[in-house]
Structure 1
């Protein structure tokens, strides 16, 4: 039996030196706090060739793991397909539709549409016809290929900065895969017990975090500026201060004093490494947090404003509308 401590120890994987990893993970932890599955759509897809699915569900984010067999994924506009082997994991962002199939060039047989609708090319619903039991779906009870799919149904505003830094299709090879999480999720997915939805949501979150952490560690050159900057002794500390204490009245001078550099040096180095000024990054982080907190119906706008560093609800509303194009009240209503 795999216990929680075993799962955590087996999925850490090789990383940067401890001091660098600590700073980088602090920034990453703040941004990974956004993707929190709530009644996520989880499915064990069982397929035998020939098969091809066109995914057009526009889900903000999906995690796919090839448990058995092989498959190909071809995003719209891509020159070449991505070949998946057993153990490979994929993080797909919903903005770009893609084709999942047993081989490249296969014509789609089923369309996956928003709202978890599965239809054939005539528009007829095939969800029930292809059902194979609890959270299991496909064209074969004795499949050659099995894929675990976890889909986040709605965006989480805090993770926007993270998701915008990712490629449309991120692939983590089997050698870098957090196997323990996959094993536990695979076993739990076909259960139908009390509290199962909550269990699966949390397992999906853990799998996503493990995949993204391992991918960032192994693709530092492709990682966003804030991730690479987290390893810098001064800029990493500044990012940590911004993430951990957005309510404080930060200025460039105050942040520079906290890390022992001049105001000009901090502004120059932060902009070079992160790609924006410290105050621009702070504003973006505060407003992302505010958007997430607006999903909590019991929090007043005044409370949210204080938590994210704005002196009043009016000041937050002005900045929020400038960033998001809608007032906090309208954003909360839409989120609900």
Structure 2
């Protein structure tokens, strides 16, 4: 299926800046969300839909009516027209017209294709290919893919549910995007679903940016490390060039400290040793090469400086939990 980019494509690498806020921006430069699939859903109450857990992120925009959202670890959350939520780790969740309704699986609903990756769910298209006027609750739901590894510390820190309205005060672009999506739904013009898909990509990226800015005001862990001028500089360098041989002396030199004081400060701030952090980032990069670019395991091992494919595979499995061959996309595996 054709992917839609959010527009946050990686930029050319530049010398690492020195201010903490710029250091965090350097890490986020490569962040991108690709729209995998979207559905315009018309649900006539009473209704309830279960969304199974998925490696991709989930996005929901309530265009008209109301909905209730619940994840396994939360209470019911009321959503109103104009609300949008992002579930960055794609946890199992239920959307319903009321909390009492029994849920059916989203894949059991009728799907009518509109474009390569856009569907009408629970409704029939008009003659021109656009949906008929809604007579129930209307939502625009999407599945999105991060270019970040699922084990990346930024993704791991995100909450299960990120609500746009709660972050709107932090980023003025969020309410503007919500209003634009509402207008597209209200006007029901030709091509509205395609416009909504692109707006959803940008809105999801804006939600993440606003959350990062909010988190930075009361930061701990990885974001706190990025705010530290000395530790942040080291982390930015690791992410900018994970294939380098980042020894503890080399990283200590970047920080301008002795090996022992650097290792103690890094572990205290980040929550793990420099060696373990470097190993994780290197395997993030390797999984992206293998899974998304179809790189051969032996080539990835060589690029990361491993003496043999076997030693690389052991390190990969230790971090990722799977051997390298298990993460290769089936279609890429046959053509690599």
TM-score bin, normalised by smaller chain: 0.7 to 0.9
2:66 matches 1:74: no
Match of 1:118 among 84, 102, 108: 108
Change (3 A) 1:316 1:186: farther
Matched with 2:3 is: none
Q: Is contact 1:246-1:307 (8 Å) kept?
A: no
Match of 2:80 among 77, 85, 102: 85
**Residue deviations 1:97-156, cap 9 Å, x none?**
3221233x23135321xxxx224xxxxxx446822438988xx8334643221113x786
* Structure 2 unmatched ranges of 5 or more: 1-6, 9-17, 113-120
TM-score by length of 1: 0.73
Instruction: Report the CA distance between 1:291 and its aligned residue.
Output: 0.6
SS, match of residue 54 in structure 2: coil
Change (3 A) 1:335 1:234: farther
* Structure 1 unmatched ranges of 5 or more: 1-6, 9-17, 120-125
Matches within 5 A, 1:3-82: 19-30=19-30, 32-33=31-32, 35-37=33-35, 40-56=36-52, 58=54, 60-78=56-74, 80-82=75-77
**Residue deviations 1:160-182, cap 9 Å, x none?**
32332222222231634624555
CA distance in 1, matches of 2:138, 2:220: 32
Q: Is contact 2:59-2:142 (8 Å) kept?
A: yes
CA distance in 2, matches of 1:141, 1:109: 25
**Residue deviations 1:52-98, cap 9 Å, x none?**
222235353201223344322122353x2112234332122566432
CA distance in 2, matches of 1:278, 1:130: 51
TM-score by length of 2: 0.73
Q: What CA RMSD, in Å, does the superposition of the two structures yield over aligned residues?
A: 3.7
Residue correspondences, number: 299
Matched with 1:171 is: 163
Change (3 A) 1:111 1:326: closer
Change (3 A) 1:330 1:136: same
SS, match of residue 141 in structure 1: coil
Say which structure, 1 or 2, has more relative contact order (CA 8 Å, 6+ apart).
Answer: 1
Q: Is contact 1:27-1:227 (8 Å) kept?
A: no
Matched with 1:213 is: 209
CA distance in 1, matches of 2:67, 2:320: 38
Q: Is contact 2:53-2:90 (8 Å) kept?
A: no
